[in-house]
Amino acid sequence: MFFKLFEFSGKNLSAFNSNLFLMPPKYSTANNNSDAIRRVQVCLAILKKMYPDAKPSLNYRNPLELLVATILSAQSTDVQINRVTEKLFKKYCTAKDYANTDLMELENDIYSTGFYKNKAKNIKGAARLIVEHYNGKVPKTMEELVTLPGVGRKTANIVLARAFGVIEGIAVDTHVKRVSRRLNFTKNSDPEKIEADLISFAPKEELDSISMILIYHGRKICQARKPKCEICTLKNLCPSSVIFMGK
C-alpha cells in the first residue's frame, strides 16, 4: 500500500526536514516535478502516522442516512449534525418518507443545522428522484449521484466510498482544500481541480484515507484562522509555516 512506502520514527524523520522538500512556487506539483511529488508523498505518509485511526465523524447506518447527513453537514459541524440526525433518522426511515413529508416540517426538523431551507429542499428533491428513478435505493455511481439535488462530487465521493466501498476520487471539503493549498500540494482553488491534483499522488484505494487525514489535520492543527504551526510535525516540510510562524 502507498503509505507503507515510507516508514518514519522520531529518530529518522529529521532526514526529511531539509530544503529538498521546501519547494518554492516554481516547483509546482502540477508540473509533475519528481521532487515535489515525493515531498507530497512523504507528507501524506507522516499524516497517516499522525492519524492512524482517522474515520468519518457522522453517524449513519445505511446509504440513505449517510447521504442525508452529508447534505446536512454543509456549513455545520459533525457534532451538531449527529445531534439532529439522532431524532431525524427515527422519524424518516426511507427515501419515500422524505419525499412525502411536508417541506416546512422538514425545515423545522433540521433548522439548527443552518441553511435549513435549501437543505430541506435538496433532501426532499433527492429523495423524490431516488424513489422515482432508483426504486427507493441510493444510486451507486458517481454519474447517478451527482444528478440528485444538493449532491456534488464531494458528497458523491463520501457516499460511494463509505456506504458502498467504491473509490472514485477524493472528497474535497474546506479542510482538504485549505491544507492542500498550504502544503503546496496544489495551486488550484477549484475543488475538482484540487481533487485531480491529489488523485495523481496515490493509488485509488488510498484516496478516501487521504481525504480523512487531511480533514483531521485541518481540524486539529492546520486551522483556518490560526494554524498551530509551532506544534505541527510537518512544519519543516510546509512552505506556509514560514509565513504563519513569522507573524
Per-residue pLDDT of 155-165, as tens digits, reads 999 999 999 99
Residue 9 burial (CB count, 10 A): 7
* Terminal-residue alpha carbon distance, the chain: 39
Looking at residue 218, what is its pLDDT? 97
Q: Is the pLDDT reported for residue 30 higher than 70?
A: no
Helix 207-220 with 191-199: angle, nearest 10 deg: 120
Inform me whether the pLDDT recorded for 100 exceeds 60: yes
Q: Indicate the length of the chain as a whole number.
A: 247
Fold adopted by 63-164: Endonuclease III; domain 1 (1.10.340)
What pLDDT score does 247 carry?
60
Which pTM value belongs to this model? Answer: 0.85
Check whether 19 has a pLDDT greater than 50: no
How large is the average pLDDT for residues 118-132?
A: 98
Query: For residue 9, is pLDDT > 70?
Result: no
Share of residues in the chain with pLDDT > 90 (%): 78
Q: Rg of the Cα trace of the chain?
A: 20
39 HSE (CA, 13 A, CB side): 27
Write the DSSP string, 20-79: TTS--TTS-GGGT-HHHHHHHHHHHHHHHHH-TT----S--SSHHHHHHHHHHTTTS-HH
Under the banding of pLDDT at 50, 70 and 90, the label for residue 32 is low
What is the pLDDT confidence band of residue 3, given thresholds at 50, 70 and 90? very low
Average pLDDT in the chain: 88
pLDDT band at 36 (very low <50, low <70, confident <90, very high): confident
Q: What is the pLDDT of residue 37?
A: 84
Q: How far apart are CA 106 and CA 143, in angstroms?
A: 27
Q: How large is the average pLDDT for residues 139-153?
A: 98
Within the chain, all domains assigned CATH 1.10.340.30 are found at 63-164
How confident is the model over 179-238, as pLDDT tens digits? 999 999 999 999 999 999 999 988 888 999 999 999 999 999 999 999 999 999 999 999
* pLDDT of res. 117: 98
Indicate which residues carry an active-site annotation.
Answer: 154, 173
Q: Each residue of 205-217: pLDDT tens digit?
A: 899 999 999 999 9
